[in-house]
Amino acid sequence: MSASGQGPAARGLTAEDVRDVPASWEVLDSKERFRGHVISVRTETVRMPGDEVADRDYVVHPGAVAVVALDEDDRVLLLRQYRHPVRRLLWELPAGIRDIPGEPLVECAARELAEEAGYRAATWHTLVDVYSSPGMTDERIRVFLARDLSEIPEEENGFVRRHEEFDMPVVWIPLAEGVNRVLAGMIHNSPAVAGILAAYAALSDGFAALRPADAEEA
């Protein structure tokens, strides 16, 4: 690699080229291997550059939303949930699956914030978009920033907690402390990591650079 840090494949590219763009290898065959309540697993045979052929296994996922709920003191709301595949209690953002076809993503996020944390927000922005693990799943997560929060009185909150949402303690921590805990390896959930770091970065200009809540997914 050269002293500039550019290998052969990077020569001729500039910072303007650094953006994800649509692309697709030719799919020669596609088989569903498993179908569950939320996800399915597919094997697709694709033609790669150089005319080579290979199988790619991946999890098909409907996508999800997550919410960085930030109060007037720049504290972020986190809740703890047991995640069986990793055998850990993880601190996470309020989040949920995109399970209502055609529902605007910000409405899905508002529903999850009310259902899991009991809050509503008057100000919403798109914070960051992430693929949770693009080497093995097509799951896409939009993380929103929610501000101007108010607690929903229990008698007004018509959402019923799902089975997995019981015993989910909620805490508020300073956003800067959340960053410290991410960097210290104390918070692992991917949308929580991305959302906390993105919110901290966006705070520097008072969130002026953020996209609107209804921004299209690129």
CATH assignment at residue 141:
3.90.79.10
- The last residue of one of the domains, among 60, 81, 106, is 60
In a domain, 14, yes or no: no
Same domain, 176 and 95: yes
Same domain, 140 and 55: no
In a domain, 6, yes or no: no
Is pLDDT of 3 > 90? no
Contact call for residues 91 and 169 (beta carbons, < 8 A): no
Among candidate residues 103, 154, 165, 216, the one labeled active-site is: 165
What pTM value is reported for the model?
0.90
Number of domains in the chain: 2
Is pLDDT of 80 > 50? yes
Same domain, 137 and 32: no
Same domain, 104 and 202: yes
Share of the chain above pLDDT 90, in %: 86
Same domain, 102 and 194: yes
pLDDT tens digit sequence for 171-180: 999 999 999 9
Buried b (16+ CB within 10 A) or exposed e, 90-106: ebbbbbbebeeeeeebb
Share of the chain above pLDDT 70, in %: 91
* pLDDT of amino acid 7: 59
Instruction: Give the range of the structural domain holding residue 42, as residue numbers without chain letter.
Output: 24-60
Active site residue 165: yes
Residue in 35, 43, 92 with CA at minimum distance from that of residue 61: 35
In a domain, 12, yes or no: no
Q: Which amino acid is at 75?
A: R
Cα–Cα distance for residue pair 38/12, rounded to 1 Å: 43
